[in-house]
Amino acid sequence: MTIPIRLPPFFLMMLVSLAAARGARAFNTAAFLQRVALTSHKNVRPRPTSVVREMCGLVAAVHDVWSPTSQKGEQEAIFDPDVLHATSQILHHRGPDGMQIHYNENFGMGHTRLAIVDPENRKADMPFQLEFDDVTIHLAANGEIYNHEVLYAQIEDPYPLLSHSDCEVIGHVYNKYGGPKAVTMLDGMFAFVIFEEVDGEIKQAFAARDPVGIKPLYYGKTRQGSYMFASELKALVGHVDPATVVNVPAGHYWTPEEGLVCYYNPDWLRKDDYAPWKDPGHSVTDDEIRAAFTKAVQKRMMADVEYGFFLSGGIDSCVVAHDLLPLYRKAREEAGDFRPINTYTVGMANSPDVMAAKAMVEALGGSKYINHHVREFTPDEVFELIPKIVYHMETYEAELIRSAIPNWLLAERAAQDVKMVLTGEGSDELFAGYLYFQDANNSTQIQDELRRIYGMLGNINLHRTDRMTMAHGLEARVPFLDTEFTRLVMSVDPARKMVDPEAVKNNSRGREKTLLRELFQGPNENGHSIPRPVLWRAKAMQCEGVGEDWVSILQNKIASLVSDEEMERAHITYPNNTPHTKEELYYRRIFDEHFHGMEHVINLWEGGGRAMGAAWKSEMYTREGLKNVNLLSHALQEKNVQRRVPERPRSMSSAERAAKEACLAAKAVGYDDFEALLTSGGDDRSLINVETGTNKYHIRPQPVDPLHVFRGSCTGNPPTLRGYSAARKLYDNVLAGCVEDSLDQRLRDVFEDQRNRLKDLLNLPEGSEVILCPSGSDAEYIPLAIARTLHPDAKITNGATQLREVGAGSAPASVGKYFSTHTPLGGKLSEEMEYLTGFEGIDGLAVSAREKDGSVVDSSKAMEEFTESALAHGKFPIVHGVFGGKTGLRDSTMPPSLDGGDKSLGVVDACQGRFTPEELQEWLDQDSLVLFTASKFYQAPPFCGAVIIPTTLANKLRKAPAPTPSDFLGVDGLGGFLTDKEMPPCFECWNPMLSQKHANNIGLALRWEAGLKAMEALGAIDDMERRKAADDWATKVTDLVSRESLLDPWCVERTIVSIRVAKSDGKGHLKMNELRDLYRWMSMDVSGSIPDATPQEKLVLSKPAYIGQPVDVSENHGIVRIALGVESLISYFNNRNETLEGDRRVIRKLAAIAKHFDTLKRSEVNAPLVSVTAR
């Protein structure tokens, strides 16, 4: 019986690193999954399944019950729902729309869906479980079946469909005709796996890949002998014996009895003597070929979502555009939709592709019908993409990786707008499109060579197209490789495909692909023709057409990273498919880091390149690519472009240097540009340690594995998936690629938008204002600066409360001191710098939160006495109240600003963000400044702060003169933390002194975007309902903690539960130095360091959990904290049981570490070596 599951509604990270080293183990679904009862229903019916919605790749595994020597042993790890779920998530990049798993003791099947057809129907999510009387078909498929409606209609007495998914028909046809016949009936691109279940047992397994290899499929055997299938190699890593991995060839199916069987056997491909053109009765007209292509394009328009096409400016993509646009316009006009279609081009400025594509757009009617996007790039930019591209490409074939780089950029850009694109792939393999064909001796060689390179499409061109598009959740369709169109073209006399070398030189008739050019040189149905310079331009592989010289620049840079000694030893290091160049070795090195032992799966071009395997010798290409790139230039490119004498480079601003320092550290361990910027524009707490790959809070600028539990919102947060996606969208769509002046203005607009959104979310009264600042500690400087502005001659004194309960930087910042080794916009400080310039001479009082025994100090009373004393001595007091310290502790009174700020400033430190709208309004009504962050409860990455200015004070600041001395707003003063962009209009008198050209805190904008997205999500829930949910959570978690003998819920404040941890020998409680170890171990897999742990303990010890940092509350002990953040509150509001299961796991791990603390201490458990996931 299949056990359907309901998984927690995690927001999934872009890539999950699976710890499969746990090995196979039995699993207990009751501990973390809700069992759903199966219901009986006649005919086909859906069984209840997971409701986690994610993505389009497949994972499937089944016991080998067919082998005579096979026997079930220990439970396969991949059949564990926890492991199956995580493994399926590894393929999440293949689409953002749905995910499900099915499993029992005999098989596991996971599917991540990119929804193109019937996208809103959740019943269209796979794996399908289709019941046909006495058999259940379990189906996971990747691809599109264009004739699904025709196939279903021809089945006599069909079973009802569950959905309108085109892939569901695979199961129906399989049930009707059997696998070998069914697969030959499918028209489309696909890879699928079927497990056939009868009476609770798997009786048959069947897998297949489409005729051309457009969609990928691999399989291997686990060490226990089970078969495992996946869309990509990365999902097999850690599960199967690498030596057993097989790339299912195009046009093949697999069964356990027969192994791989070729089912796609057209005469033109399989018969060496195929030559129908020699038969006088054979006739294929140009009109028939054109009609077949139009039909191929039309069927690939099947979609219920927005789509576009890749327009490289080469003849292939232009032919697709030539036929597609009339069909697209007609379909849209019939629907009353006149929006233009999106097209995408990638290349360097003035490159052959970019200029030809622009000409094609104009020829097809321009912007009225086409929304054309050009992604320009530089050689330096793409170099940093190589490790990520090799990871996603799963190859080390140099020619393929070169062409994948611009393909990555193209797909990345297109995925911002559409979910599907049409491309011109495959034309060269049908029409003899590569330049080396000019050296062929006769037409027989042409035909044989086309058959050879067609057979490699699934390993080369289509492999690249699938991986680079699906890496961004984008589907690519290839009309040229329609099987009927291919049959017609390959039955044409290959003499029409011969290439004249002189015509290649002259860009004229007779050059490569002349047949194709002649077929489509006339106007389309709209009367538009392909421009002659485009129609007759040279064939350029994508890595060539995007820019004639960038490949050589790239290769030279790579060569500097590979030593001569490495090359000399390459045959020893890599005996299989030994690299011949430094470029090849560099790619191989990266591949081996991810897919060691799977190098045999990669099918390389014979001789190191496509042209080297031909039956004739050609000098056109070497292993490094096209010899003469000047052949690619055409008349549409700008000739003799006047080169500007480069301006003398300006010196970097301090802000740019600071951001660069932060980014270099992050990128050194593998984070991308966006993730690196998330760590910039802060202080030393946010910087990445290159040894661990984490910041001071042991977290990364990436979402945590959704199988790990995060309850550390009171400390520092990794980005949630919601926040990460929002921030990345801001970066990709608004900030990436901006230079200097344009970035200044864009960031100014972004911060203004964010301030306005924050005001709306907090329902701030009219006239109040918001300052955005890098952290809550930095926010402490703002009251000092306001006091100096409004009372320039006053002696300022500052009273701070809850020492040790607020951030360690708050106390020094409250008297104008630096609290970190770095400033957000100035970078690393020199050691002698103690005070911000202009902030010297401020004194103050800092009151501890607790007595030595942990009892609470009456801070409010201390502040009343402080205020009276300050006023009596002619000083201007700034008076603090803390509304939620590290343990959630709240001062009894929140201080007002006396006489509207004329006598004193009241400051409410509400940085934890755990307050109600009514409480905030009360503080503003008494003219208090409010310090707030989105990087605690709202789970933005560390850090992003704000100061809320009440209306009374904002009005006074609007009228205030410029403060003196002006240098207190310079880069060594407040200008090291803020620019005028983060300031609201009421600080007009500050802005000229804060204004710094090229000082842009991009990291702060990205972090605030993440925080605001969380606030907006929570805003959709009624305030009273979420308060009830939070209170209920605290009560239940307190009860869970109380059940553990070594744990004590020492303090509970709103959504923070502070826990005292007893020593296992009964001699007191853990103190701060011990809790710091515990805190670190919580975020690690420490199961292997405790040999005597029970199986249940090892399970919880293996899964990282993130909690709040220890707090020193007493001389006898410290505490650690479990804190509810916005995402877990939303999760709790939606499904309390699932959220509490996460809390239960955290508490059990805390208890297990407490029990085995001495063992862990003796084992000297250290933080794992840095391993950054490619995203």
Residue 1157 token pair? 């603390």
Go through 939-962 and write b for each residue having 16 or more CB atoms within 10 A of its CB, e for each that does not: bbbbbbbbbbbbbbbbbbbeebee
Catalytic pick from 56, 318, 773, 1051? 56
Q: What is the dihedral of CA 567, 568, 570, 571, to 10 degrees?
A: 150
d(C-alpha 504, C-alpha 500), whole Å: 7
Residue 838 token pair? 């202009």
The DSSP string of 958-1013 is: HHPPPPSSGGGGSTTTGGGT--GGGS-GGGTTTHHHH--TT---HHHHHHHHHHHH
d(C-alpha 871, C-alpha 1041), whole Å: 47
Query: Which stretches within 826-900 are classed as H helix?
Result: 859-872
Provide the pLDDT for residue 1.
Answer: 32
End-to-end CA distance of the chain: 36
- Answer for the pair 5, 34: CB distance below 8 angstroms, yes or no: yes
Distances (CA, A) of 916 to 8, 440, 1027, 1090, 1131: 28, 78, 9, 44, 20
Q: Is 543 a catalytic residue?
A: no
3-state DSSP call for residue 712? strand
d(C-alpha 737, C-alpha 960), whole Å: 38
d(C-alpha 456, C-alpha 224), whole Å: 33
- Answer for the pair 480, 454: CB distance below 8 angstroms, yes or no: no
Provide the pLDDT for residue 1020.
Answer: 87
Helix axes 1002-1019, 654-668, angle to 10 degrees: 70
pTM for the full predicted model: 0.56
Q: Which residues pair with 196 in a beta bridge?
A: 137, 204
d(C-alpha 382, C-alpha 734), whole Å: 20
Residue 127 token pair? 């794996």
Provide the pLDDT for residue 20.
Answer: 33
- As averages over each run of 10 residues, the pLDDT of the chain (1175 residues) reads 31 31 30 25 30 60 86 76 90 80 91 66 74 94 93 89 88 96 97 95 96 97 94 95 97 97 96 94 93 95 87 92 93 88 88 87 92 86 87 92 90 93 95 91 95 94 94 94 96 95 83 93 92 80 47 79 90 92 92 94 83 83 59 45 38 77 88 92 92 87 87 85 93 80 86 95 95 95 94 94 89 93 90 88 92 92 95 96 93 95 96 94 97 94 95 94 77 91 90 78 95 93 90 95 96 94 94 94 91 92 91 94 93 91 95 95 63 47
Position of tokens 């030596």? Answer: 243
d(C-alpha 1050, C-alpha 1030), whole Å: 18
- Answer for the pair 101, 109: CB distance below 8 angstroms, yes or no: yes
3-state DSSP call for residue 767? coil
Provide the pLDDT for residue 556.
Answer: 80
- State the amino acid at position 1169 in one-letter form: L
Residue 573 token pair? 């290091």
Provide the pLDDT for residue 656.
Answer: 82
d(C-alpha 192, C-alpha 139), whole Å: 7
Q: Is the dihedral of CA 814, 815, 820, 822 positive or negative?
A: positive
d(C-alpha 771, C-alpha 752), whole Å: 10
d(C-alpha 113, C-alpha 86), whole Å: 15
Helix (H), strand (E), coil (C) string for 149-180: HHHHHHCCCCCCCCCCCCCHHHHHHHHHHCHH
CA atoms within 13 A on the CB side of 253: 21
